[in-house]
Amino acid sequence: MKLKKTGKIFLTLGISGWILIGVLLLTATRVDAKDNGRDTMFKKMELFNQVLYNLQKNYVDTLYVDDMIEAAINGMLDELDPHTTFFDPDEFEKFNTNTKGEFGGLGISINQIGDYITVVSPIEGTPAYKMGIMAGDKIVKVDGTSVVGMSTDDAIKQMRGDKGSKVLITIKRPGVKEELDFEIIRDIIKIDSVPYAFVMDNGIGYLRIRQFNANTTQELSDNLNKLEKEGIRGLIIDLRFNPGGLLTEAVNTVNEFIGKDKRVVFTQGKLPEANQEYFTRYNRMRSGYPVVVMINEASASASEIFAGSMQDYDRALVVGKTSYGKGSVQRLFKLSDEYGIKITTAKYYINSGRCIHKDLNDTLLKDPRVRYGDISEEELDKMRAEADKEHLKDIHYTEKGRTVYGGGGINPDLTIEQAKMTRLGMELRRKNLTFNFAVDYMIKNEDKVELGFQVDDKIFNDFMQFAQEDSVEWTDTQLDSTMSWIKNNLTSNIINKKFGDEEGYKVAIQDDQQLQEAVAIFDKCPTLDDMFSYAAEQQAKKEE
């Protein structure tokens, strides 16, 4: 019997049964053991059996063996990197849903606001959208069961289900006294990997990739076709806050820009099957316009492969802030009883030979001092400085000979800072007041809102009164420094309620300093080579 099957026995048999089988297995296996390491492992497994057996038999209180075994598994994984994870059945199903990019549900984006699960927006074309669910609706019951005070994750579990099944949603709607019931037939809801793709006023295409799921390559290709038909003179691909996803999708999306038979990634691990190379496969290569890729500290994994590969092949100027540095490969294994485990099996390297994995991240994620806030900022800064010093020693080169570095994420060719939010802005966002005000405003003024609508001083003053009634306080200086953001955020939310997510997003990015600086590069540099030269000049000035 193989060790993999043993794990299934531990999870499915009663305590006496699996201990007996465990002991028999250990006895049989040790006869064939050829090294002390294997022999020691099975001795420790036998010790584990003995500890659990004696606890179950003698401990003063009732013990729940299933919980203890899961705790032991998680304790074992605590000794490894933070990306090796054990999933219970619900977690395993949720993880698979996120990577597949679709699920059976209603089609609403929700958030917990106070005690209420509140609809942020219905997704156009979905069952909820067709039934008339609106932004601002507060969900109070699902199939007659109250969800007031329930967490977002628990509420989602109540609302998701098989395609074609029915669910009764009861809501409170602002401006309506009585509760409203909606009987909705669930359908497959597609999670858009590319939520926004449009041409800005200056002729630059903007495309945001939210995550790399099973639909990303097709969505990217379709949206690029649309943008190119509109005659873009340049393209921004926004990967900020993109946590990654499927490795194959990262390779296939890079394919759109570098053509066929180009190596994008290779992996190195313990087992031979973990050592693989990934090449582009399709005769597709977009050309005719310069590309800028935006990243930040929250861009990770597959998004780093995409950005780094575009950099390696000199196909895009990468701007923003250094990415997270998640360059390890995980493989998903299904266990018995719908459990699962995600195991780090290798590290990946992009074509220039650099590994983008930042070991410091793993160290900090596992350090209990960081978890409980017992480490000083000075010590953290020292650790980061030492890691950066080593990172800059790991030198590699792009196809055109530009210098890039390994072991510390993807460094942008041009660093662009993001404006920090004021304390007043953070408080308004924390309480979600611009969203709540927009919902109330649209109930009374929807007919007045057209594309091009702007929040004027009267609406702004009404909002500040609204915020004051919710115990928000501010100084004149704070208000002056936050006024532009507040007006833009209010305008974006109101436009969103009337015309949908994309139109609201177009307004929101007008106040995105990092993006606006990226857009300005196209006016300074008409070609990609000009952009590379400009970035090198700016870097030289910074080092002087």
State the total domains in the chain: 4
- Is-catalytic flag, 146? no
CATH of the domain at 178: 2.30.42.10
Q: At which of 351, 382, 415 does a domain end?
A: 415
User: Does residue 540 sit within a domain?
Assistant: no
Name the β-bridge partners of 57.
none
All residue ranges of the chain with pLDDT < 50 are: 1-34
- Residue linked to tokens 């600086």: 517
pLDDT, tens only, 70-86: 888 888 888 888 888 88
Q: At which of 175, 190, 205 does a domain end?
A: 190
User: Does residue 107 sit within a domain?
Assistant: yes
Options 138, 172, 321, 326, the catalytic residue: 326
Whether 403 and 430 share a structural domain: no
Q: What is the rounded end-to-end Cα distance, in angstroms, of the chain?
A: 65
Dist. CA 377–CA 291, nearest whole Å: 37
Tokens of 363: 């160290």
The predicted pLDDT at position 24 comes to: 35
The predicted pLDDT at position 410 comes to: 96
Q: Which of 438, 431, 505 is nearest to 134 (CA)?
A: 438
> In which domain, by residue range, is 474 found?
423-511
Q: At which of 150, 173, 190 does a domain end?
A: 190
User: Does residue 389 sit within a domain?
Assistant: yes
- Is-catalytic flag, 151? no
CATH of the domain at 322: 3.90.226.10
Whether 341 and 245 share a structural domain: yes
Contact call for residues 263 and 278 (beta carbons, < 8 A): yes
Whether 437 and 381 share a structural domain: no
Contact call for residues 253 and 239 (beta carbons, < 8 A): no
The predicted pLDDT at position 99 comes to: 63
Whether 340 and 444 share a structural domain: no
Whether 279 and 183 share a structural domain: no
User: Does residue 342 sit within a domain?
Assistant: yes
Q: Angle at CA 159, nearest 5°, toward 153 and 161?
A: 110
The predicted pLDDT at position 150 comes to: 87
Q: 3-class DSSP state for residue 159?
A: helix
- DSSP 8-class letter at 412: P
- Residue linked to tokens 């080579």: 529
Name the β-bridge partners of 292.
236, 317
- Is-catalytic flag, 301? yes
Whether 437 and 359 share a structural domain: no
The contacts found for 66-75 with CB under 8 angstroms, 24 or more apart, are: 69/10, 69/11, 72/48
User: Does residue 218 sit within a domain?
Assistant: yes
Whether 160 and 212 share a structural domain: no
Contact call for residues 253 and 308 (beta carbons, < 8 A): no
Give the DSSP H or E segment for 75.
Answer: helix 65-77
Question: How many Å is the Cα radius of gyration of the chain?
Answer: 27
Contact call for residues 301 and 241 (beta carbons, < 8 A): no
Options 121, 299, 301, 352, the catalytic residue: 301
Give the mean pLDDT of the chain: 86
The predicted pLDDT at position 395 comes to: 96
Whether 30 and 115 share a structural domain: no
The predicted pLDDT at position 414 comes to: 97
- 535: number of Cβ within 10 Å: 20
The predicted pLDDT at position 35 comes to: 59
Whether 186 and 204 share a structural domain: no
Whether 209 and 314 share a structural domain: yes
Tokens of 138: 């507060």
User: Does residue 84 sit within a domain?
Assistant: no
Give the DSSP H or E segment for 435.
Answer: helix 433-445
pTM across the whole model: 0.77
CA 101 to chain centre: 13
The predicted pLDDT at position 20 comes to: 34
The predicted pLDDT at position 512 comes to: 95
Options 81, 312, 359, 362, the catalytic residue: 312
Tokens of 504: 């609201």
Whether 147 and 269 share a structural domain: no
pLDDT, tens only, 29-69: 444 444 566 778 888 888 988 998 899 889 999 888 888 88
Q: Angle at CA 144, nearest 5°, toward 141 and 145?
A: 65
User: Does residue 387 sit within a domain?
Assistant: yes
User: Does residue 503 sit within a domain?
Assistant: yes
The predicted pLDDT at position 329 comes to: 80
Give the DSSP H or E segment for 264.
Answer: strand 263-269
Whether 312 and 260 share a structural domain: yes
The DSSP-derived string for 78-124 is: TTS-TT-EEE-HHHHHHHHHHHHTEEEE--EEEEEETTEEEEEEEPT
